């Protein structure tokens, strides 16, 4: 009996999937921080990959998306002078954002149209990471970085909801489409670094990673005299994830 039910289930799924419609798309998303996050970092630029499956005679489609992006990088020259000796090198800092979400979308019309408005929702995880790379100065005094690592990495849940519209010149299979979507994205609290906070951000060095941020200093050591130098590379903030997203995608139905 169990084997029969399993066989019937597989046959049903196979037949259903053979009539299902699949959509795959690539796109760009501009994320504009809001609330407390807007005081700490600027716009996030994301590259998105999305896949959805829609059953026949059903407005709902389900799938997932993957995103990778960033919200700032810099390359700072640093010069250390000790007596008659000068050491030159560069500090490279990059802020990255990664995400993945399960998606659910519902077309607002039951029949296919060239312009199809839809409701969008998603739930998943987002990851913020700050990478540090220090160039080897290659000087005669053998000054080397004491740190070369991931300065900050944190993650939290992320939920999104919004509205979009697809423009599909041919509503049948094998056709291309353009997808424009606006969403509100909210998530849990996480810590992240800002290189150059927007005007209006405040600093409170006594507030260990709280509302006003904590400075991040990179240590360097001179291997000949063991003197340690510090160079400030940014500020760490902690707040809830909050941003508006505007996404444009180019996709294929098959």
Q: What is the dihedral of CA 113, 116, 121, 124, to 10 degrees?
A: 80
Q: For residue 56, what are the domain limits?
A: 20-253
* Pairing between β-strand 176-194 and β-strand 228-253 as defined by DSSP bridges: antiparallel
Q: Has residue 12 been placed in a domain?
A: no
Q: Has residue 3 been placed in a domain?
A: no
Q: Has residue 199 been placed in a domain?
A: yes
Q: What is the pLDDT of residues 201-215, one digit of tens each?
A: 444 443 443 446 788
**Predicted model pTM:** 0.78
Q: Has residue 13 been placed in a domain?
A: no
Q: What is the pLDDT of residues 90-107, one digit of tens each?
A: 778 899 999 999 999 999
Q: Has residue 123 been placed in a domain?
A: yes
Q: Has residue 9 been placed in a domain?
A: no
Q: Has residue 130 been placed in a domain?
A: yes
Residue 158 DSSP symbol: E
Q: What is the spatial distance between Cα 98 and Cα 217, in angstroms, rounded to a whole number?
A: 25
Q: What is the CATH number of the domain that holds 35?
A: 2.40.160.20
Alpha helices (H) in the chain, listed in sequence order: 2-19, 35-38
Beta bridge partners of 132: 93
Q: Has residue 95 been placed in a domain?
A: yes
Q: What is the pLDDT of residues 145-204, one digit of tens each?
A: 545 677 889 999 999 999 999 998 876 666 899 999 999 999 999 999 988 665 554 444
pLDDT for 134 equals 74
Domain count, the chain: 1
Select, from the ranges 5-9, 17-21, 91-95, the one with the highest average predicted confidence (pLDDT): 91-95
Average pLDDT, the chain: 80
């Amino acid at each position: 009996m169990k084997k029969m039910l399993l066989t019937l289930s597989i046959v049903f799924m196979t037949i259903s999937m053979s009539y299902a419609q699949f959509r795959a798309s690539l796109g760009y998303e501009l994320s504009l921080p809001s609330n407390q996050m807007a005081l700490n970092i600027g716009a996030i630029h994301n590259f998105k990959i999305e896949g959805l499956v829609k059953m026949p005679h059903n407005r709902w489609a389900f799938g997932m998306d993957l995103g990778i992006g960033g919200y700032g990088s810099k390359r700072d020259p640093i010069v250390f002078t000790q007596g008659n000796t000068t050491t030159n090198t560069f500090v490279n800092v990059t802020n990255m954002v990664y995400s993945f979400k399960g998606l659910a979308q519902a077309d607002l019309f039951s029949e296919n149209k060239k312009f199809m408005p839809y409701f969008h929702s998603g739930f998943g995880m987002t990851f913020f990471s700050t990478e540090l790379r220090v160039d080897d100065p290659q000087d005669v005094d053998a000054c080397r970085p004491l740190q070369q690592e991931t300065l900050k990495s944190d993650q939290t849940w992320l939920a999104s909801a919004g509205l979009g519209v697809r423009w599909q010149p041919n509503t049948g299979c094998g056709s291309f489409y353009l997808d424009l979507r606006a969403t509100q994205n909210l998530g849990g609290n996480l810590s992240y670094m800002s290189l150059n906070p927007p005007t209006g951000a405040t600093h409170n060095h006594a507030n260990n990673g709280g509302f006003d941020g904590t400075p991040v200093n990179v240590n360097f050591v001179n291997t000949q005299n063991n003197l340690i130098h510090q160079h400030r590379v940014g500020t760490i903030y902690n707040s809830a994830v909050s941003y508006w997203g505007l996404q444009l995608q180019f996709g294929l139905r098959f």
